[in-house]
A and B are shown apart, each in its own frame.
Chain A
Amino acid sequence: MKAVCYYGTQDIRVETVPDPQILNPRDAIVRITSTAICGSDLHIYGGYIPTMEKGDVLGHEFMGEVVEVGRDNHRLAVGDRVVVPFTIACGRCYFCKEQLWSLCDNSNPNAWMAEKLYGFSASGLFGYSHMYGGYPGGQAQYARVPFADVGPIKVPETLTDEQVLFLSDIFPTGYMAAENCQIKPGDTVAVWGCGPVGQFAIQSAYMLGAERVIAIDRFPERLALAASHGRAEVLDYDVVDVPEALRDMTGGQGPDACIDAVGLESHGTTLDAWYDRVKTRMFLATDRPHALREAISSCRKGGTISIPGVYGGWLDKFPLGAAFAKGLTLKMGQTHMHKYMPLLLDRIERGDIDPSFIVTHRVALDDAPEMYRTFREKGDGCIKVVMKPN
Chain B
Amino acid sequence: MELSRFDVEQHASDIHEVERWVSLAAATAVMAFGFMRRSAPGVALAVAAAPLAYRGLVGKWPFENGYANDTRTALSGDRGIHVREAVRIERPVNEVYRLWRQLENLPRVLTHLEQVKELGDGRSHWIARGPADLGVEWDAEIINEVENRVIAWRSLPQSDVVTAGSVTFKSVRGGRGTELSVHLQYAPPAGRAGAFLARIFGREPNQTIREDLRRMKQVLEAGEIPRTSIGEPRI
Contact = CB atoms under 8 A, between A and B. Distances in A.
Contacts of B229: 23
Interface stretch (B43-51, B111-119, B180-188, B215-223): B215-223
Contacts, number: 64
Contacts of A147: 222
Contacts of A72: 223-224
Given A97-B90, A111-B214, A23 B221 contact: no
B227 A23 contact: yes
Which size class do A's interface residues fall under? 20 to 34
A24 B226 contact: yes
Interface string A102-140: 000111111110000000000010000000011110000
- Which secondary structure dominates chain B's binding surface? loop
B228 A106 contact: no
A69 interface: no
Contacts of A109: 225-228, 233-234
A318 interface: no
A111 B69 CA distance: 37
Contact of A105 (B173, B217, B228, B233): B217
A26 B224 contact: yes
Given A93-B90, A94-B90, A108 B226 contact: yes
Contacts of B223: 25-26, 72, 92
A222 B77 CA distance: 68
Which size class do B's interface residues fall under? 20 to 34
A136 B217 CA distance: 24
A146 B226 contact: yes
A91 B221 CA distance: 9
Contacts of B233: 109
Interface string B189-227: 000000000000000000100110010011001111111
Given A21-B230, A25-B223, 15 more contacts: A24-B224, A25-B224, A26-B223, A91-B222, A92-B90, A92-B222, A94-B88, A94-B173, A106-B217, A107-B222, A108-B226, A109-B228, A109-B233, A111-B214, A112-B210
